[in-house]
Structure 1
């Protein structure tokens, strides 16, 4: 297998066409797995790369990633890539370890990898549910099914909406809101949420905004950023910045005005998104992994997303594998709170390393995390 390493900006029309054909064959149904997302991340970061794999002169796959220090690869656009991994033609011979070596990488860490042919099963540490509302473009019918299946939950949402209308004024959901001030407000609310909860502010690095602007700078009807909002008497109460692509609308960056928190404006907006999938040009709403305590009330379908790491063959990769394995052993050891803290620290440090390209940002992020979790 021949491997050609390029920057996403070097992808030509033929490569883009081949990439989209492969993801269609795979049935990934994810904007994060499409070349448009890789190209947007490439506009934002110079360390973005795409490995193009060929067999007998025919392209059989693409693997987008960020080339990090010590020959460590991370998913393209991480930690914003809610699904990631290589796009490989179904049935093609593909060995992740050999591919990584050909790419000049020792390891590839992933958290929500799509692996329909189980090529990464040996390195998987955990499998989690990705929540998907397969509306088929008829969001109204899907929402009716949800209400019938989860009557009490959705009656509560409806009761809170009536309370909101009675106490604060008329409620309107704008499915495709193009108001730039509302866009900025949603980002501000999200950053305030990170500050209040002590989480790392993944929206702070400059490259993130460059990527968002690149995704929003399109008139295409089948891909790009979409923002939906919930307004009360014209006032912005909640908003969600979504990503459309491959027939899926990805629930991505939701935020709301804390003043309206008792009315669950975010959940009201989510149901509005599901009801409006057809109008938004989508066949499904993908809610991603985690937070199943509420997502299970908005979806019937699940997709398997795996967490783990893949390693190349060779001494350097084995050292890295041993170090990561030792940390993972601490997480799974019967040490009670210490094991839980180890897992939390790994996820936090991994997020910081992914979103902060520069050493200074990583050092500051780690220092903040240490101050937050240090005893006393």
Structure 2
């Protein structure tokens, strides 16, 4: 195994063509987070992004995009923002993971949304869970019929609220792939308010994330979709697209219209618009939200874990991250714990606003 470490901008045309060919070898790799555009985009904003080009003989057999931080700690590219992670390789390929880390000058590589069936990292899983998928391969009407049968009351309620929104606020319409930068800024403002309201870290308080989202919007790798009632924007989502697959990313709405469930209306409208534009799959991201269970068609398996070498940096990383990982996984396994943790975060957010 020969490993060459390069910055994403150093990949040539032949390497990028090979990357895309390897993507086609596994349907899971069609996800936008696994595309070279995502890695290259993050590298514009994060200096530690590298790609390990793995060769056997004369052939490139894999690409391993990763991000290196202090003390040799490695993460997936854009860690914290990605809903799918892994190595760009055929699913049956099994590399020596510790040797790969050594070639990348990493003491540890952690993951929390790894494609579970990839053989290279399979021995290092600590937890496996499901990621929901909306399947539009049969068109929107086929998907809607399956959803109606699976959750008839929920589907009927969403459609009723959509009609009510149209009557009381204005005609409901959906704009697919908007190029309006002002609408993107509005989405980010709504999302920041949601993060603060629920006690989560405000991702858009980090300038590099704002720059990344704006870059993807300008280049068309990211899609901004907006739900309107009359001339009033009600909800929006910013997603990534690679060929016929969309990965959900940021969704938010105007809380003044919360009674109409604009997020759910927007999700169904998104599915309809995607089907009309040749998209066959929407990856919804790791579970934890009940509405995803109502809308999903199927699931893929993802894993959390770490590969570590016997180094000081790996030990320090374990001490810092293990307690948080255990607590998060307990909440994700038990809906009651998840709801309790959600309420605690919201209470904390209210107290922080009241006593800044």
- Aligned counterparts of 1:165 and 1:325: Cα–Cα separation in 2: 47
Aligned match of 1:138 = 139
Match of 1:68 in 2: 69
Cross-structure match for 2:117: 116
Which SS does the other structure have where 1:176 is aligned? strand
CA distance change for structure 1 residues 305 and 93 in 2, over 3 Å: closer, same or farther?
Answer: closer
Q: What residue is the counterpart of 2:22 in the other structure?
A: 22
Trace 1:198-347 onto structure 2 (pairs within 5 A): 198-218=199-219, 224-312=221-309, 314-316=310-312, 319-320=315-316, 323=319, 327=323, 331=327
Gaps of 5+ in 1: 335-339, 349-367
> What residue in structure 2 maps to residue 40 of structure 1?
41
Q: Could you tell which deviates more after superposition, 284-293 or 50-59?
A: 284-293
| Cα offset, 1:262, TM superposition | 0.6
Mapped contact 2:63–2:88 kept (Cα < 8 A): yes
How many residues were matched structurally? 336
The 3 A distance-change label for structure 1 pair 95 and 115 is farther
CA gap 1:258/1:292 in 2 versus in 1, 3 angstroms: closer
Mean alpha-carbon deviation: is it higher for 232-241 or for 289-298?
289-298
Counterpart-to-counterpart distance in 1, 2:321 and 2:249 = 31
Quote how far apart the aligned CAs of 1:103 are: 0.7
* Distance in 1, Cα, partners of 2:253 & 2:117: 35
- Following the alignment from structure 1 to structure 2, what is the Cα–Cα distance between the partners of residues 13 and 195? 43
What corresponds to 1:359 in structure 2? none
Using structure 1 for the length normalisation, give the TM-score: 0.83
Runs of 4 or more above 6 Å deviation: none
Displacement of 1:202: 1.4
Per-residue deviation at 1:261? Answer: 0.4
Deviation for aligned residue 1:242: 0.9
RMSD: 2.6
Q: Who is 2:84 aligned against?
A: 83
| TM-score between both structures, scaled by the size of structure 2 | 0.87
Equivalent residue number for residue 150 of structure 1: 151
What are the Cα deviations for residues 173-218 of structure 1, in whole angstroms up to 9, with x where unaligned?
A: 1222222211110010001111112211112222212222332233
